[in-house]
Amino acid sequence: NSLKLHENKTLVHLFYHSRDRVHSVHISAIKLNPSYIRAILRRAELYEKTDKLDEALEDYKSILEKDPSVHQAREACMRLPKQIEERNERLKEEMLGKLKDLGNLVLRPFGLSTENFQIKQDSSTGSYSINFVQNPNNNR
């Protein structure tokens, strides 16, 4: 049985930590049988281990569509959205920090910094406004 062969290849590659090869074996098994839940489940687990949380969630959702009784997929579908949101917030904060550093690098020759600009978000529209502040450390 070729599906069993793919599953055994997966176990061997997992043992030797060859994640790229494991991924390709899972894809082959899933192409042979798109309803092969075990292969989709293992691919979802691999996605999670490699921080591909969005892809993992999609796989877990597809498992639940095929078999709603798979507890691991149900639990992951409840857990992963929060992890994805936390990761996205962390990435957003990191990106904003890097943009602020870049802004300070550009503004420094002019005697300015990003502290000279206040950014406010309009809660009703979600848009941002930027205001210039002459003395950002002066609390008036």
- 2-132: CATH class: mainly alpha
pLDDT number for residue 48: 93
| Residue tagged 């020759």 (tokens) | 109
Distance CA 97, CA 125 (A): 24
pLDDT tens track for 77-125:
999 999 999 999 999 999 999 999 999 999 999 999 999 988 888 889 9
**Angle CA 13–40–48, to nearest 5:** 70
State the chain's maximal CA–CA distance in angstroms.
77
Residue 2 CA from chain centroid, whole number:
32
pTM of the model: 0.65
